[in-house]
Amino acid sequence: MASSSTSFNQKSFKYHVFLSFRGEDTRKTFVDHLYTSLKQLGIYTFRDNEELEKGKRIDELFKAIEDSRFFIIVFSRNYASSSWCLKEVTKIMECQDEKQQIAYPLFYDVEPSDIRKRSGPVGRAIAKHKSNEQIKKWEKALESAGNLVGWDLKNIANGHEAEAIKKIGEEISLKLCSIHLGNDENLIGMDRRMQELASSLGIGLNDKVRMIGIKGMGGIGKTTLARAIFDKVSSLFEGSTFLEDVRELSKKKNGMEISIKEGLRSLQERILSGVLNDEHMRVWSVHDGKEYMKMRLPYKKVLLVLDDVDDAEQLEALAGDWFKDGSRVIITTRDEKVLLAHGVNVNWIYDVSLLSDEEAMSLFCRYAFKRYIPDEGYEKLSSEVVRYAAGLPLTIKVLGSHLCGENEDVWRGALKRLKTIPSRETLEVLEISYNSLEDDHKELFLDVACFLKGFPKGYAIRMLDSCGYSAAYGLRILEQRSLITILNGRLGMHDKIEELGKNIVRRSHPHEPNKHSRLWIREEIEELFTDDWGTEASTCIGLQLMPKELNPEIIIKKLGNLNKLRYLSLYGNLDDCFPSGWNFDQTKQYFPNSLQFLYWRAYPGLSLPQTFLANNLVGIELAKSRILQLWGSGERKVLKKLRFLGLRDSKLRTLDLRMAPNLENLDLSGCHDLIEIYAPAGCLKRLIFVNLVGCSWSVSSSLFKQLESLVLLSIPNLIVSVECLKGFLRDSTSNLPVLQFTFYYSKEQPSKTEIDRKGVFLDLQPCTKLECVSGRTGFLQHLRRLTFKGCIPEVPNDLDQLKCLEELTLYSTNIKCLPDSVCMLKCLKSLSLIDCQHLEELPENLGWLENLEELNVSSTILRHLPDSICMLIHLKCLLLDSCKFVEKLPEDIGQLECLEELNLTKCASVGDIPNSICKMKCLRYLFLHFCSQVQKLPEEFGNLKLLEVLDVVDTGISHLPHNISSMNGLCIFGSISLLDQLCAFTTKIETSENGPFCYIQAVNSTPTPTELRSQSTENHLKRYFLPLSINYIIF
């Protein structure tokens, strides 16, 4: 049977660690302490006893070596004097070379070179065995072991043995964790997720207690992920318990309803019984349970999983402040708020992602075909099912199980049915989150599911607020419950959750749309309106008007009968149905007076109908409409509830704002035909947002004096004269906290005016005809962000007067240098000089920018960096991408101890990397891509413990420093020339999925680490096991 996944047999080891040592040197001192420490960490360690060496057979010792995952070889002065030790190290090196086991030398009181070269006390000790026929074999084993990466005791914690033992134990724990969180072919998609969680778990670190949250929508695999982690690492703890379904068990016992307190008391008993290994543990109340946990649990390092938590009270009773350091508590939930309320670090909350297309297909095929690719003839149908499931594991498993063994006709019928009747099993799981909502949040959820998915968050809030919801708070609740997402400012919702919401609306009366609270299905709306059905229940309608399918006039004439309608959303190009100049019959009722929010894109009327009282309207959105004025000639209505008015890109000519005294949001952008706005003094006291993009200055200026509470004025396309700018800002009593302009000047900037406003952002773009800017910005005393784009020849020399400036950006300008005044900007945090292809130098005193966090000089012709750059002690990001003339970095660049990213991509002239770079304790990303002159990395490179990404593609680097394997979680992008040297401290294998690995492959583009790990070995040349410090290496 074909399979898209290659299967590997994973060896099961009896011991985590085998200790090899010379008993007379270290048994009762160092090794005894090391053994005890490893045991306390839950690391099952083999240490031979004295009797074994005296009488037991050597094959039993060799069996223990073969059954151990790691070896720690404690080299001491007399180690080589023992033939027993030499036999051990020889056997260990054979396992290192031939199997998936790893040896680590620990140089106790000898030099590594003495082991490699058999010199000094080691040479004298092994000389005693000259007559032994195995001497050459033993010497070779010593040399190989001495070349391995390990620990030199005198260099760890300044030789303090206790600290060194603690560090060794932590490193072995992390290595074991990395292996335990390896591939499992039965858990598709889990490997990636477990690796992503590994750093948060910090297994083996004896730091403070960590509580890790796993959140996500129902059916996404939270429990599966938590169970996989528990099964892999629970043996590393002194006690462990997996408490499944906390939400249900805190309310029920044996299927019977119980009180919350009784449920929590019972769960406390289960935790204590599991952790303390006492089946007879009893507690009499929740309070007693807490007290008992405080008394017993501080003395055991435990792993506790609390699955499906939905209330902070559960965590208070089950996961209080009573665990021993090094303990881990994993909490799965649908509601992020529960985690935050309990004080879980937001950085330790893992949001479970959906399956990728490849993962989803593999999982589906496993359930539908009992293998990892579709049967012949089912490829297209399988793709349709996987597309329907949209990456949700629960749906994939349910459908795969249902369709297993069925013919193609059954498959097609099932897919057709799913379009109208969703999978019951999926809905039942997802509806748990819905049922936990308050009533108003349930209604808000249904509005989002039926109408607002994909809409901008701002629009959704306006619409929902107009219908009486506290929208911002409600949407946050839905987001925390994993029912919606907010990405790039828009509302998102998984297809199955959207399906749930729509099913809730329709399921009570699936064939009676007149009884549905919300209408969005075209066929149902058409049937309802054409057959004169009563629609008392309908509160919301969303419909795209299609003139070729249904005459929109029929819809329009029926709307007035919907007496409970609060939200109406209509859109579609109606030019063919409503000729130019068409207007509503002013004697007919087109809109019900219950309407609270009216959205009609391309509204065809010249005004709103006179019969529409609109006294409940809170929001009006009539973008791209023909409307000339809101009401007909001579008519004036006061809409006291109106807060949002959007007429973007409409034909509006006049607007009387007296009709909306409580207006907060006004969008007239693109209203090029607008000639008059009537707004008497004091009538717009609540206005907080205005967008007048594209309106004439005469119209805009008539509003300005009334904007007493304006928060944001966005006029990015407004061509203004200096006098207009002066006129707007002359009034010193203006209360504008934020002002944003984009200026398009043909000759010069404004001369000094009264501009002096907190929070001003000045964006000078594109400046294609700007001839002079020098000496023109000093009047902007409170400017925080300043951007120049285009071909300006120089920067104003009075920048030092911008005392509050935080961001300065110059993009594609013609400047050759920066004025020295830049160095006086004490508040500056970001300096970006991007694609300034004439920029030759930076100010020598750049180091005076004491608060600078980001310096970007990419794509310039800089030849050197000033030495003072090393004084930027708060710098986090230094980007020199494509600075092809820079030949070297300052020798003391290592003084940038806060630096997290150093990007030297395409710096083709850079030669040596200064040794001081190894002092950058915070460095996480180092990019040397296309730095062809760089031949090596500093020998102490392994000191960069936080480094996550190293890119040395197309450099001259042919080897990596040995101490690189003391680093954790490193992803290397390298060239094929590194392979030989890499193999010096890795072991080639063919059959293991344990731990990190690399593929040597021919690719057209560099794959991502996730893509790399998901690939099969079938199309690759070789597969290599990496040191556990390295996550990936990509060639």
Distance of alpha carbon 933 from alpha carbon 502, whole angstroms: 62
Q: Which of 88, 170, 336, 443 is catalytic?
A: 88
The sign of the dihedral angle between the CA atoms of 690, 694, 695, 700 is positive
The sign of the dihedral angle between the CA atoms of 220, 223, 227, 230 is positive
Tokens at 864, concatenated: 């050197």
Please calculate the CA angle 344-319-236 and round it to the nearest 5 degrees.
90
Q: Strands 997-1000, 1022-1025: parallel, antiparallel or unpaired by DSSP?
A: antiparallel
Question: CB within 8 A of 440, min separation 6: which ones?
Answer: 469, 470, 474
Distance of alpha carbon 994 from alpha carbon 183, whole angstroms: 7
> Mapping DSSP to helix (H, G, I), strand (E, B) and coil, where does residue 221 land?
coil
88 counts as catalytic = yes
Q: Are 891 and 868 in contact, with CB atoms under 8 Å apart?
A: no
Q: Are 644 and 619 in contact, with CB atoms under 8 Å apart?
A: yes
Tokens at 845, concatenated: 């005193």
Q: Strands 210-215, 328-333: parallel, antiparallel or unpaired by DSSP?
A: parallel
Q: Are 46 and 15 in contact, with CB atoms under 8 Å apart?
A: yes
| Burial class of 640 by CB neighbour count within 10 A (0 to 12, 13 to 18, 19+) | exposed
Distance of alpha carbon 656 from alpha carbon 684, whole angstroms: 11
Q: Are 974 and 1033 in contact, with CB atoms under 8 Å apart?
A: yes
Distance of alpha carbon 642 from alpha carbon 622, whole angstroms: 14
Distance of alpha carbon 393 from alpha carbon 402, whole angstroms: 14
Type of residue at 515: K
Q: Are 338 and 315 in contact, with CB atoms under 8 Å apart?
A: yes
Tokens at 303, concatenated: 């792993």
> Mapping DSSP to helix (H, G, I), strand (E, B) and coil, where does residue 430 land?
helix
Q: Are 334 and 213 in contact, with CB atoms under 8 Å apart?
A: no
Residue 988 phi/psi, 5-degree rounding, is: -70, 135
Per this entry, what is the length of the chain?
1035
Q: Which long-range contacts (CB under 8 A, 24 or more apart) does 91-95 make?
A: 91/62, 91/65, 92/18, 92/20, 92/65, 92/141, 92/145, 93/141, 93/144, 93/145, 95/65, 95/66, 95/71
- Active-site residue set: 88
